[in-house]
Structure 1
Amino acid sequence: MFAVYAESFDADEPLNALATGERPEPEVPDGWTVVDVKAASLNHHDVWSLRGVGLKEEQLPMILGGDAAGIDQDGNEVVVHSVISDPFWMGDETLDPGRSLLSERYPGTFAERVAVPRRNLLPKPAGISFTDAACLPTAWLTAYRMLFTQAQVAPGQTVLVQGAGGGVATALITLAAAAGVQVWVTSRDPDKAERTRSLGAADVFETGARLPGRVDAVMETVGAATWKHSLRSLRPGGVVVASGATSGWAAETELNRVFFLQLRILGSTMGTREELRRLLAFCEHTGVRPVVDRTLPLAEARDGFAAMTEGDVFGKIVLML
């Protein structure tokens, strides 16, 4: 079957590690099944895999991709939840210390077919296209968990989203606005920041700019470059939810501000099957849909990876089969 995979690692030029071509059909352990992939979307995780983060050389070649929507062996239209937990793990799958993701321990979704545990398949609502559904299981699920599980935002509150344009950022803005939350956005790219108004952003600011008021919650995916601004933007008792650090991991914590203002700092990673189920229902009933930057045939995946590494993306890149 045709697939897109990592054949080596290159920390500086990740596209040098990318390969396309024929790979063996997926192995199907007990309790697993095969999905014919119709659409799969790119995430920064896929680029990091090419850099050698989360993979070992003995795992190569590894088919990339975690997000997918397709058709299972019974002819059902399904969405794949890519967090693979121990079959005996109970509760939140993201807290399983032995959890993995498709394309880490198991071949991923950038292929004509992918093997997944049966429990990881959710019905795709008829009103949501394969293209849109393929955007949801990582970036949009991450955003959903950050907003509604971790920060527990409510209508009428104000949320600051640090950074604009990527899959998680556009999901955060769209979901929060649809839930009646006032959304402020910061970005170094004025054009991308301005485009977020069409997603529901109430106002946009330059990165680090003084805001007109304090916010109830900050959604933080940038890291070191915005961390101090995130803490200083919170009202007393506010919460910052961090799910990434694209600009670097190390930042001044300002513990005096944290304890004096009783701020909360929460980490967030991916989301559960139940949260994905709720996200699908949210999109189905509200009409909210992911922002798709572009769609490409699977054979042209390299162009999508190039756009992502260059930062030339607003929304999600989807690979079609």
Structure 2
Amino acid sequence: MPRAARGYGGQVIAAYAARFSPDDPLAALEVGEQPAPAPRDGWTVVDVRASALNHHDLWSLRGVGLRAEQLPMILGTDAAGVTADGREVVVHGVIGGPSGHGVPADEPRSLLSERYPGTLAEQVAVPAWNLVDKPAELSFVEAACLPTAWLTAYRMLFTTGRATPGQRVLVQGAGGGLATAAVVLGAAAGLEVVVTSRDEAKRERALALGAAAAAETGARVPRVDLVLESVGRATWSHSVRSVRPGGTIVVAGATSGDAEHAELQRIFFQEITVAGTTMGSRDDLRHLLAFLARTGVRPLVDSTFPLADARDALARLAAGEQFGKIVVEP
């Protein structure tokens, strides 16, 4: 049935966590019918045209950040689509916070698919405040890549990291959505971007995207002004040793686990700033969209899958085979 004919109270096709499976996250995934978004004051229903995958989806399938009583939970934090009045929008996936915006002001901040159903569905409901106009210059697939990985990279570089043209930036780990976004955005802004990866092919692709240098993970690199750290245990010591005295390490994740040693002596003696960041603000997203529209920079799309094949898409993400963003289209 066409989406426009469903209306409230119907069903939508979605990819969702039906159970938890810590060791085999794909075993917890189901793709099938779920209730369509219900009307809610201050919220808007978006017909999803594209939704990008993130490691957050795999963590949800493992049971991280969710409780059993919340199941089934539709996955996904990123989306671009169209509202009922024809407005083309990008969804900012951070719900709530100090200002509320559609939820109680004292409700803790969350991402879509944590408290509220996510974007891997034919429709998603979000607070109207969370919608940002999609520039005509960007396709739905391109725009869907931005609200998590690209927004985080933008905030790490320019809002939290305060990078300026000519500075040298180290990006730990090449290939994922965050790393490729940081390379492309940094190069476009006149930064000297250095990336690390164990995979030679990924290092070569990072160079083709605009990185100034690419090195083996852990290899010595010239001192940098700023490090973008999202790997954690496997790269933390290298990050601390690679940043110049007085430089900054911005942390937005720890995909390999928490660092065993904080290396506090080096951090305080060399006056290194360590700053944490998560996602980005709605204004950051607006600025990122404008940056792409005006510069011609576009997110790197690894592959696209129909929503019915969401399992194959998540399997590719779980295997670490991607270079760029994996996108699902209803």
TM-score when scaled to structure 2? 0.94
Which residue in the other structure is 1:303 paired with?
A: 312
Map residues 76-115 of structure 1 onto 2, 5 A cutoff: 76-86=87-97, 88-89=99-100, 98-115=108-125
Contact kept? 2:98, 2:106, Cα under 8 Å:
no
CA distance in 2, matches of 1:191, 1:254: 31
Q: Which residue, 65, 74, 83 being the options, matches 1:72?
A: 83
Aligned match of 2:297: 288
Deviation at 1:101, TM superposition (A): 1.0
Tell me which amino acid in the other structure corresponds to 2:49: K
Query: Does the alignment pair 1:21 with 2:32?
Result: yes
What is the aligned partner in structure 2 of residue 132 from structure 1? 142
- Secondary structure in 1 aligned to 2:49? strand
CA distance in 2, matches of 1:244, 1:96: 25
Unmatched 5+ stretches in structure 2: 1-11
Q: Deviations over 1:187-216 (max 9, x none)?
A: 1111111110111101110011111x2100
Tell whether 2:250 aligns with 1:255: no
**For residues 150 and 254 of structure 1, what CA distance do their matches in structure 2 show?**
22
Report the equivalent of 1:186.
196
- Please list, as runs of the form range in 1=range in 2, the aligned pairs for 1:156-167 lying within 5 A after superposition: 156-167=166-177
CA distance in 1, matches of 2:113, 2:156: 23
Distance in 2, matches of 1:13 and 1:253, equals 31
Q: For 1:291, give the aligned amino acid.
A: L
Contact 2:100–2:107 under 8 Å retained in 1:
no
Secondary structure class of the residue paired with 1:127: coil
Give deviations 1:23-76, integer Å, cap 9, x for gaps.
111123210010000000000000000000011000000111110000012111
Q: Answer yes or no: is the 8 Å Cα contact 1:41–1:67 preserved in 2.
A: yes
Structure 1 residue 259 displacement after superposition? 1.2
Which of 39, 42, 67 is 1:56 aligned to? 67
| 3-state SS of paired residue (1:48) | helix
2:298 maps to amino acid: R
Q: 2:236 aligns with which of 209, 227, 234?
A: 227
Distance in 2, matches of 1:86 and 1:243, equals: 18
Note the C-alpha offset of 1:250.
2.9
State the match for 1:146 in structure 2.
156
Separation (CA, whole Å) in 2 of partners of 1:278 and 1:309: 31
Query: Which residue identity is paired with 1:243?
Result: A
Return closer, same or farther for 1:246/1:88 CA change in 2, 3 Å cut-off: closer
Alpha-carbon distance in 2 for matches of 1:145, 1:70: 23
CA-atom RMSD, angstroms?
Answer: 1.5
Shift of 1:96: 8.1
Equivalent residue letter for 1:169: A
Shift of 1:3: 0.7
SS across alignment from 1:54: coil
Q: Give 1:283 deviation, angstroms.
A: 0.5
Q: Which amino acid aligns with 2:157?
A: L
Deviation at 1:97, TM superposition (A): 7.1
Residues matched between the structures, number: 317
3-state SS in 2 of match to 1:296: strand
The structure 1 segments of at least 4 consecutive aligned residues displaced by more than 3 Å after TM superposition are: 86-90
Q: Which residue does 2:325 correspond to in 1?
A: 316
| TM-score (norm: length of structure 1) | 0.96
Q: Say whether residues 1:206 and 2:216 are aligned partners.
A: yes
Structure 1 residue matching 2:201: 3-state secondary structure: helix
Match of 1:274 in 2: 283
Question: Helix, strand or coil: the match of 1:236?
Answer: strand
The residue number in structure 2 matching 1:176 is: 186
Provide the residue aligned with 1:217 in structure 2: 226
Report the counterpart of residue 132 of structure 2 in structure 1. 122
Deviations 1:125-177 (A, max 9, x none): 00100000000000000000000011100000000000000000000111111
Q: Percent identity?
A: 63
Stretches of structure 1 that go unaligned for 5 or more consecutive residues are none
Q: Secondary structure at the match of 2:35?
A: coil
Instruction: Determine if the alignment matches structure 1 residue 33 to structure 2 residue 44.
Output: yes
**Following TM superposition, by how much is the alpha carbon of 1:87 offset from its aligned partner in structure 2, in angstroms?**
7.7
